[in-house]
Amino acid sequence: MYSQVEHPAGGYKKLFETVEELSSPVTAHVTGRIPTWLRGSLLRCGPGLFEVGSEPFYHLFDGQALLHKFDFKEGHVTYHRRFVRTDAYVRAMTEKRIVITEFGTYAYPDPCKNIFSRFFSYFKGVEVTDNALVNVYPVGEDYYACTETNFITRINPDTLETIKQVDLCKYVSVNGATAHPHIENDGTVYNIGNCFGKNFALAYNIIRIPPLQADKEDPMNKSEVVVQFPCSDRFKPSYVHSFGLTPNYIVFVETPVKINLLKFLSSWSLWGANYMDCFESNETMGVWLHVAEKKKGRLLNLKYRTSAFNLFHHINTYEDNGFLIVDLCTWKGFEFVYNYLYLANLRANWDEVKRQAEKAPQPEARRYVLPLSIDKADTGKNLVTLPYTTATATLRSDETIWLEPEVIFSGPRHAFEFPQINYRKYGGKPYTYTYGLGLNHFVPDRVPWAACAVSLSTDDTPGISGGPSARAALTLSHPWRSHLAGVVLSIVISPGAGPKPAFLLILNAKDMSEVARAEVEVNIPVTFHGLFKRA
């Protein structure tokens, strides 16, 4: 008789269930003792509405944006959440159907309109979604929820109210921007987005938004492009989710996952087409890494190359004795990992989830080392002289520099992903630890792993360890590490029938032991990214 195999923590399907927003914050039940110095708000974004009426969303990145907040004050915790009132959400609620095409879901024309108005709508082009479900970040004194298009949404971090939609195209030359900007300690924001360059060829612009000045003018008005990276393919930009930044350099990793721009621009004429239909892979290019001087805005004429991988998250990037150390969460190969993140796959029974994951690109956390000065006399030699890494960079006769990584973590279909570091102190600088989420066949099933990146002051080698509750519950979010006194925060759902469906877990960052948890009476669906706003 057939026996269904279940995931070790069988509640993973609750990650992808629609929930209701809250009219006001609810008090969480705290066990353990929350440090009194932990004051402020953990803000996170993710999908919270997975269908509109009878119309389902099909991809993980399609559900309508839900903003979550855990407030900490004097050892007490409250939880609040509200849907972001984007155009996509408001129109869906008003018309009771999916109105704007999302990442993997096509919005069909209004059946109530006559054939002439439907025909006319095709010639207006695809309406770009503003579904801000990926991240939250500050600009000046304001906070924005974002996806990866040109639209970001200003929100009130205290009440979670939506204030207004902002179109980045009105301020700076980009067609979209990543959900992972770098925020420097003075408030300067750096981000990257693709754009049309010279002769209508595609390029990638690094944009800079300055911190709030004495004149109190909106920093958006002072946005500027600081450097432009070339594109390896004139009409097919690579998908970009994050980039590297140090005090002196900007690192852009160009992967073989491409957006077919001609198909994207004509997708209004393709019945049922969505964003996912416009992705394709360049099976021969491998990966190109580009470096620019941050302050001068000058590209380095160095051709770094390596074998193909998908990239979503940079762990950290820093400089050391004439080298750039670039730590990444990679997925081996050129096939797009997002092909495996349709909700039907993620909601399947565990044996089917595993079967699909075995076909997908495999994850590996890696360290690449990029030499900044090249001598042609060293052709054929490994240029990396740092004593603490096995990564290599070999100068070839065609003047390309071939990179081979040091593997920080690798396990069959087990990923170290959604990395976090003590960013305020170590972002762009030498560091020792990173914290991340353990993914088991794309399903988060461990409280955050602590992965030891290489310590520059010791002979430590990369390793990975899990907390004592490593299989006690499913984590919904990547962890956030406090820069104040070393705690890790992660939202968790209970795997089965328990007293509380979800809780916020607080771990000691040194040994991953549990400090406290704040339980709530409601389910919390998957969240992607966020920030901690200090009180």
What is the β-pairing status of strands 303-306 and 287-293?
Answer: antiparallel
Find out whether 241 is annotated in a ligand binding site: yes
* Alpha-carbon Rg for the chain in angstroms: 23
For residue 58, give every residue at least 6 positions away whose Cβ sits within 8 Å of its Cβ, in sequence order, or none: 104, 105, 342, 343, 344
Q: Which amino acid is at 172?
A: V
Q: Which of 73, 192, 189, 193 is nearest to 142 (CA)?
A: 189
CB atoms within 10 A of CB 252: 21
- Which ranges in 102-257 belong to alpha helices (H)? 115-122
Structure token pair of residue 169: 């195209």
SS3 state of residue 404: strand
The Cα 413–Cα 420 span in angstroms is: 21
- In Å, what is the CA distance from 301 to each residue of 230, 293, 304, 408? 12, 11, 10, 28
Q: What are the backbone angles phi and psi of residue 157, rounded to the nearest 5°?
A: -70, -15
Containing 229, the helix (H) or strand (E) segment is strand 224-230
Structure token pair of residue 127: 């309406």
Find out whether 313 is annotated in a ligand binding site: yes
Q: What are the backbone angles phi and psi of residue 448, rounded to the nearest 5°?
A: -55, 135
* DSSP string computed for 303-354: EEEE--EEEEEEEEEEEETTEEEEEEEEEESSS-GGGG-BHHHHTS-HHHHH
The Cα 281–Cα 233 span in angstroms is: 12
Find out whether 529 is annotated in a ligand binding site: yes
CB atoms within 10 A of CB 239: 19
Find out whether 180 is annotated in a ligand binding site: yes
Q: What are the backbone angles phi and psi of residue 475, rounded to the nearest 5°?
A: -85, 140
Beta strands in 33-173 (DSSP E): 40-49, 51-52, 55-56, 64-73, 76-83, 135-139, 142-146, 151-155, 162-167
Containing 524, the helix (H) or strand (E) segment is none
Give long-range contacts, CB 8 A cutoff, 24+ apart: 139-144. Answer: 139/189, 139/209, 139/219, 139/220, 140/187, 140/211, 140/212, 140/218, 140/219, 141/212, 142/218, 143/43, 143/533
Binding residue numbers: 180, 241, 313, 529
Binding residue numbers for Fe cation: 180, 241, 313, 529
